[in-house]
Structure 1
Amino acid sequence: MPTVYDVASVAGVSTATVSRYFRQPEKVAEATREKIRSVVVALGYVPSGSARGLAARQTGVFGLCTWGRHEPDEFALPPLEAGAPVSIARDVAEPRLYPLFADEVLRGAQLECTVRGFALMLGWGEDDPGHAMISEVAGRVDGLVVLPGVVPDEVLEHVARRIPVVVIADPPGAGSPLSHVTVDNVGGMRAMTDHLLAAHGLRDLWFVGLQERRSADGAERFQGFRSALRAAQLPVPDEPQLRGTGFRVDARAMTEEMLRGGSLPEAIVCGSDQIALGVIDVLVRNGVRVPGDIAVTGFDGLDAGRFLRPGLTTVRQPMDALGRVAVELLTDQVSQGRRAPAHRQLPVQVVLRESCGCPPAQAVARAG
């Protein structure tokens, strides 16, 4: 296999210039870049990340560890056969026709890595008692972004002794070496609940929360919900009226059970858009009008909510910015050698659509 020394010799440049061509091409003269490019192509040279890491004590790679979970119906997709005839359908039932929270965070991390000249290694999984996945990824990267609930904090704190770690959403405990990026969950859900109370005059509101360990965001959103009810001098529940795993299929089951009970609140405030989509699906299929009979709101800002009918009123969090800011923090820590943990809270935005009882945007525009 050709080496960096072969490329340098044939191109008539130093090995440092060849390395700079791959890592910082803008700092290499155009004529020299073209000469190196031609030699690289002719020799079939591929730079060795491990060798570069040994030389520079850095790999030029960040890692992102995400959830390995899937909606149950994803596993039931029929196989796609090569050579099958073109089919015609009025609708499609595939469960993943839009990006979810983790997908948006990944997209943001990818974009920021592109801007800053880093590669991105992806790892996933939760049922990993030996934490093999995190060890494999952490041993190959300069820094690590981790979604909430994927790896226990004590494992991440051990990893943080060697490389910087940024956790998305879950704030670490006091004195933790972990950095984190989150959003204003409390303020966002407080503003959403205030809107339902003030603009629509609703008084009987239920909250759908999470029962998983990945619940720091959910707990904060429930806190914002309770804060709004307390300020309005309404009864404040100690626990969410409904709890689920966050899967759409589970939200459907909870909603069906609620319908069998025969008692509906005036509004269901969901801890995530994914839950809200499942709730609305069951309500509409059972003849319950949204928002005519019951209002439903979400939290995230998934694209699916824009195309749902009725459109989903939600709290939009900057999911892609979570990934971008996490990579920004890693870059600062790696380049400046700072290991002190950093913390950022990003703002959110309440987006009003029809599911809460607000008129369609088009109607508002015409009235204006």
Structure 2
Amino acid sequence: MEIAKVDTFPLLYRLTHPYGDANGYKKYRSCFLIRITTRSGIEGWGEVIDWLPVLEKGFRERIIPFLIGKKATDRLSLVKIIKKWHQRSASGVSQALTEIAAKSAGFSICEMWGGSWRSSIPLYASFQSYSDTPDWINRSLHLVEKAAADGFDQIKVKIGGRSFAEDQSHILALQRQFGGTLQVALDANQSYDAATARQWERLFSEWSNWLWIEEPIPMNQVQDYKLLRASLSVPVSGGENLKSVADFLPLLETRAIDILNPDVMHMDGIDGFRESLQLARHFGLRVSPHSYDGGLCRLYTLFAQACLPAWSKMNDDSIEPVEWDVMENPFTSIVPLQPENGHVTLPQGIGIGIELDLSILEKYRWDGRTYV
């Protein structure tokens, strides 16, 4: 199965209203898809996240010339080389080559991975809580209310982007409005020091509906994570930006974290991502994958979670939720899956088992102009 062609699809959408987290506001959403085609006509799709000019130039000048003529079944060796040039691109290539391998064998992705344990995966609605208006708290509560009406009972909201007092006012308003009926995760995007993060315990002790606190401090502060985990009554999670399985080991060996949040788009390929999920199980920990940036990578995340054994022997069907972006973003519809009552049923067909909405690729194709 020789690779004959690689197509790229850089997409850009300017948001109606900026929204953001502790890292600042987003004014646009971007998406970069690739399609690898073999000489026999088998296609595989992958997704990459980064600045579009960098991705387009990198694929055109280096990655595509390298891939043409190579065997599509040599996924591991091809990905190993590409990740030396640009790790995130390697992840997208690994997705596309995985789909080609599955299609050539007549398998679904899960069947090629040995079969799934479940066909439906729980989700949590993921929010970018901040907006550039004085009434940002009310706007945030309105978005949560809409998600709850759509059937989500697990959510993640942002902290760390405002003063501590303002953030606590936001979370208290959220708890009072929904009366603890929603399970809530807080994501600080590594914005605190350990002393400030511990102050959240005052609020944690008043409610029992917490999922976790995510990345309260920088991920390289392993010893502080260990101390923080011991001082908080809610689970501590993190790891969305870690690049390899090895990067998780210091956190796991010191028991500094309760829940892993790896992201397939930030790791060294779909195979490395799956290894990170299994690593959590080897250490007896939960893993709730981060999957914010795109619909296709989210689909691969769902497949991987479906193939992961249950985290608790008390319930052999228990599985942790996967992130579901509910913010304004047309690219989440490229893969036309719709959640129902906070769960999504996975496609069962050959390869990824679902047709991408190619009309979105044409409508939002990036025109090459600089954007900020």
Q: With structure 1 as the length reference, what TM-score do the two structures score? A: 0.30
Higher relative contact order (CA 8 A, sep 6+): 2
Larger radius of gyration: 1
Report which of the two has the higher share of helix.
1
Report which of the two has the higher share of strand.
2
Q: With structure 2 as the length reference, what TM-score do the two structures score? A: 0.30
